Structure 1
Amino acid sequence: MHDVTGWLMDSDPALRWQVLRDLEDAPSEHVAAERAKVAETGWGKRLLDLQVDGQWAGGACFPATDWQPPEHLSRFPDGQPWTATLPTLRLLREFGVDPDVPAVRAAIAGVRDNSRWEYDGAPFFDGEVEPCINGGAVALGAYFGEKVDRIVGRLLGDQLADGGWNCDSVNLENGSTRSSFHSTICVLDGLLAYERAGGDVAVGDARRAGEEYLLSRKLLRRASTGEVVDPDWLLFSFPTQWHYDVLYGLDYFRTVGGAPDPRLAEAIELVRDKRQPDGRWLLENTHPGIVHFEMEDGDGRPSRWNTLRALRVLRWHDRDQP
C-alpha cells in the first residue's frame, strides 16, 4: 500500500493544509500555519501574481478578446478558457487562500473596482444572469467578504418548481422548466457559503429544496427512468469548474455536514470502487480549456486533489457507521 498521506503532503500548501485539517486532525495552529503559506508561495501566489488591472486574463467569465495567452497555456485550445477572473477566484477559494491577508484583500479590491461581466457590464459582485455563474459569484463574495445580497435575491427568484436551477431557464425564450445538476450544484455551493458567512437574506429553505433535488436522484440518476443521467458524472475531475460530477456532489454534502442521507449510498460506493489498489484515486475527466498551469499529471494518473476529496468524503460518511 502506498504511503498516501505522505504522498499528499509532498505537494503544495493548498493541498497540505487541507490534508492536515480533514484527514490528520492536526492542531489548529499547525493547520493555520500551513494555510498561511498559500498566499505566499506555490500555486496560490502564482495565481495572485497573474492578476493585471484587477482581473485575470482581462475578463470576468471569459478572457478579453485581445488577451494573448502565454505559449505554454495553449495545450487545450478548443475548450473553454479557464483563465479569467471567475475560474481563477474559484481556484483560489478551492486552495483555501486566507481572504484576510493583504495580498488577497488587494486582489479582491481590484476585482470589485475593475471587473465587469461580459453580458451586461455589471460589476463582478452584482452578478450576471446565469444561475451557474451567479452561484459561483455568491460563493466567492461570501468567502472573500463582499456583499452579494442582490445576486442571492435573483437566485431565489430563479429557483424552479422541482427545487433546482438551470441556466437554460433564463437563457432561452421558452426556458427550461427542469433543473440541471450543473447549475444546481453551483448555486447550492454559493448559498451554503453565503448562509454560513451570515448573509442577510434567508436561503435555508431554498438550499434544502435544491439538495432534495439532488438527493431524490441519488446524485446521478434521472427521476423519470432511473437511468444514469450522464456517464461523465461517474468520472472525477479537478478543477470541476461549473461541471457536475458525483464526487463534487458528495463533497458538497460533506461540507453541509450532519448524518449522511441514506440516498447517498450508491454514490459513496462508486467512490469506494474507484479507489486504486495503492489507495489513491485517479484524475479521470479534465475539462478541456487553457489553464494558468497544470497541477496534476493528467487523466489516468493518480490525482492528489481527487484522493484528498475522496478520502475526506469517505471519512465523513463512515465515521458513525457500525
Structure 2
Amino acid sequence: MVGSSLTDWLLDSDPALRWQVERDLLRLPAEVWAATRARVGTEGFGARLLALQDPDGQWAGGAFFPADFDWHGPEAQEGGQPWTATTWTLNTLREWGLDADALAGTAEKLAANSRWEYDDLPYWGGEVDCCVNSWTLSNGLWLGADVDGIVDWFLAHRLSDGGWNCEWVDGATKSSFHSTLNALKGLLDYERATGDRERVREARRSGEDYLLARGLYRRLSTGQPVGPWALRFGYPFRWTYSVLNAACYFRAASLHDGTGPDRRMAEAVERIRAARQPDGVWLQAGRQPGRVWFEVDAAAGEPSKWLTFLATTVLRWWDDPERRGRGDVPAAVGPHVRPDGSRP
C-alpha cells in the first residue's frame, strides 16, 4: 500500500483522524481541513464521547476512575485501568482537535463537581502525580480553567537529573521516561497556549535533554534499552512511553521552536522506520487493558491508521529538511484558538 492508495486508506477514517491527514500529510488548504475538524464534535468518535458526558460535567462519574470502580474487585486486581473517566475522555477529545466551544461550561462544572480520588483534591488544582498534572494543565488551558498553579508545581518538582517521576511522592529521585514525556507535553502546551516561553523554557529543555541523552530509549548507565515497552507501538498512547510517542512530541516541539530535529534521536527514528511494513503501514501492538467507551483503532496485529499517520508524519519531518519548520502546525490548545489555528 503506497502512494495514493495509502493516502486513500488514511482518509477513509473518522473526522478525528481525517482532518489531521488532510493538514499534515496532504497539506490541503486550511479551509478544507478546518471544515473536517469542525465535524469532530458532531459525528463519529467525538460526537459519541460528547454524548456520554454526565450532567455534572464529568464522564463515568469520576475524575480519574469511574464512580463504580471497585478498588478490591477483579478489575483492580487484574491491573486494568479503566479509560472512561473524565480526565481520559478530555485527553482524547483534546488530542482529536475538538473545538473547546463544544464543551462550553465544562470547566466550571468540573470545578464545582469533580474531585481527585487522591485526597479529594479539587479537579483543576491537580494532585501529586506528574502525568495527571500534565493532563490537567493541558485540558485546563484548552477549556479556559485556571491551572496556572500547576505550572509552578512542575517547576518545583523537577528532579536533579532534569526530568520528572510520578513516584517522587514515594521517594523516587531519578526521572522516569513515562513521567518526563508526559510532563513535557503539558509544558509545551502551556507555551503554545500562552506564548510565555521564558517561564518554563529551562525546565522543558532539561526534560528534553533527559530523553535525548538516552537516545529516547536507552539507559544512560549501560546503554541498554530501557525496556521492551519503548519499542512497542500501540494507539491510543495514553500514559505509556514509546519512541514513537516521544518522537511525536519532539516533532511538535521542533515546529513550535522553529528548529530542526535533534540528531540524538537518529537511532530511535530508525527503530520507527524499521517497524513499517512492506505495504507502508504500521501494525497495532495493542492497547493497554481496561474498560473503554468504544474501540477507536485496529485490533492487535492489524494495520493501524492512527499509528501509520503518526509514524509517517514523524518520518516526513525527519527526512525532508524542506518541510521542517513550515506547514506542519500541531493542533493548538486553549479557548482563544480557532480550529483553523488562527486567533480572534
Matched with 2:139 is 140
TM-score (norm 2): 0.86
Amino acid at match of 1:58: G
Amino acid at match of 2:264: R
Matches of residues 224-303 of structure 1 in structure 2 within 5 Å? 224-257=221-254, 258-303=259-304
Amino acid at match of 1:62: F
Q: 1:190 aligns with which of 173, 186, 192?
A: 186
* Contact 1:51-1:107 at 8 Å conserved across structures: no
Gaps of 5+ in 2: 323-344
Amino acid at match of 1:128: E
Matched with 1:36 is 38
* Contact 1:54-1:113 at 8 Å conserved across structures: no
CA distance in 2 between counterparts of 1:109 and 1:50 reads 18
Q: Give CA deviations for 1:267-300 in whole Å, capped at 9, x if unaligned.
A: 1101111111111111113111111100122111
**1:304 to partner: Cα distance:** 0.8
Amino acid at match of 2:235: F
* Contact 1:61-1:86 at 8 Å conserved across structures: yes
CA distance in 1 between counterparts of 2:303 and 2:187 reads 32
Q: Give the match's secondary structure for 1:93.
A: helix
Matched with 2:23 is 21
**1:29 to partner: Cα distance:** 0.6
* Contact 2:107-2:140 at 8 Å conserved across structures: no
CA distance in 2 between counterparts of 1:250 and 1:41 reads 30
Amino acid at match of 2:37: R
Matched with 1:168 is 167
Matches of residues 194-209 of structure 1 in structure 2 within 5 Å? 194-198=190-194, 202-209=199-206
Matched, 1:313 2:314: yes
Gaps of 5+ in 1: 68-73
CA distance in 2 between counterparts of 1:14 and 1:108 reads 22
Amino acid at match of 2:27: D
Matched with 2:57 is 54
Moved more, 176-185 or 192-201: 192-201
* Contact 2:106-2:143 at 8 Å conserved across structures: no
Percent of aligned pairs sharing the same letter: 53
Q: Which runs of 4+ in 1 moved over 6 A?
A: none
TM-score (norm 1): 0.92
**1:114 to partner: Cα distance:** 1.8
Q: Give the match's secondary structure for 2:283.
A: coil
- Report the CA distance shift for 1:34/1:264 in structure 2 as closer, same or farther (over 3 A): same
Matches of residues 213-228 of structure 1 in structure 2 within 5 Å? 213-228=210-225
Matched with 1:65 is 68
Matches of residues 100-179 of structure 1 in structure 2 within 5 Å? 101=101, 103-170=102-169, 172=170, 175-179=171-175
**1:313 to partner: Cα distance:** 0.5
